Amino acid sequence: VYLNKAAVFSSLGAARLSQLALGCSVVAMVSHSAGYSGGSYGVFCMAVWCACFGMTTVVFFLDATRLHACLPVSWDNLTVAFAALATLMYVTASVVYPVYFVRAECPYGGCEVRNFRIAVTVCSIAGSLAYGAEVILSRAKPGRVVGYMATVSGLLKVVQGFVACIIFGALANGTEYSRHVATIYCVVVYAVCFAMTTVVVILTVSGRTGCLKLPFDRFVVVYTLLAVLLYLSASVVWPVFCFDRKYGSPERPSSCPRGRCPWDSKVVVAVFSFVNLALYVADLVYSQRIRFVTQNPA
């Protein structure tokens, strides 16, 4: 049997078919009438929907034809990592698109465009749930052998990388971080932690964790502890050098343009620094628990 019936006739298959149907609907409605020409935010949303739809099509095709066995990757780790990332991307697009494109009143051209945009938002939210369902179905459960990316620690790696991308986006929006050596240090911390998280995900997805000179679980624990310490320092240093009166401004300048205000970007960086710190702490706790469970029988 060359075709994998479970790719269609299973809970996981149903989730992926829902993703394809909703993704196709979103892309079609946006291209047809809803539109996305409101600047970089619209382009971002359309890029998210198109990329996720394209990748989901590839995943479904490879799973249905069993051709994924020919790829030099850990298939289970790859699919759950993509589903987790797609969930986060879809949630972001589901928030950004209605904020910038949906209005209560109808535009001069009538209510058709507004209704299409509302439908896009609804389908995008449903798509987020479909990708989230795949993550839940693939997640590690007691007594079930799964890849590392299906564990809480693996899923947290995806969220950490996503949050780091939000921080980088805010940094690129004129945070003036180059004014102080301390804030430059914070940017280095964000970059180093993001790079290491990316390396962990790539090694896991590619099935190359055995290439490390030390056990993978120990490597993850050591790296996560280092990331906690680095993010803890950055979470303290960044607010001090951005909002203390000696170095910055504790209040938002009244003349700061809405949407392009460096002070707003600094707040975003500060908030998501604490978010990622909490994620790394949770990751460290869960990694220690995993290690304890695997060593306990011995």
Residues 15/16/21/23 CA torsion (nearest 10 deg): 110
Structure tokens of 215? 């056990």
Residues of the chain with pLDDT under 70: 1, 38, 107-110, 140-146, 175, 259, 289-298
pLDDT given for residue 292 in this prediction: 36
- Chain center to CA of 108: 37
Q: Taking every pair of C-alpha atoms in the chain, what is the biggest distance, in angstroms?
A: 72
Residues 146/150/154/158 CA torsion (nearest 10 deg): 150
pLDDT given for residue 109 in this prediction: 60
CA distances in angstroms from 242 to 59, 79, 227, 257, listed in the order given: 44, 40, 22, 18
Identify which of 127, 84, 51 has the alpha carbon closest to the alpha carbon of residue 279: 84
Whole-number Å distance between alpha carbons of 254 and 258: 10
- Chain center to CA of 70: 27
Q: Are 38 and 61 contacting, i.e. CB atoms less than 8 angstroms apart?
A: no
pLDDT given for residue 6 in this prediction: 86
Whole-number Å distance between alpha carbons of 3 and 297: 40
Q: Are 158 and 148 contacting, i.e. CB atoms less than 8 angstroms apart?
A: no
For residue range 25-76, list pLDDT tens digits in order. 999 999 987 777 767 888 999 999 999 999 999 999 999 999 998 888 999 9
DSSP 247: T
| Radius of gyration over every alpha carbon of the chain, rounded to an integer in angstroms | 22
Coil, helix or strand for 37? coil
Reported residue count of the chain is 298
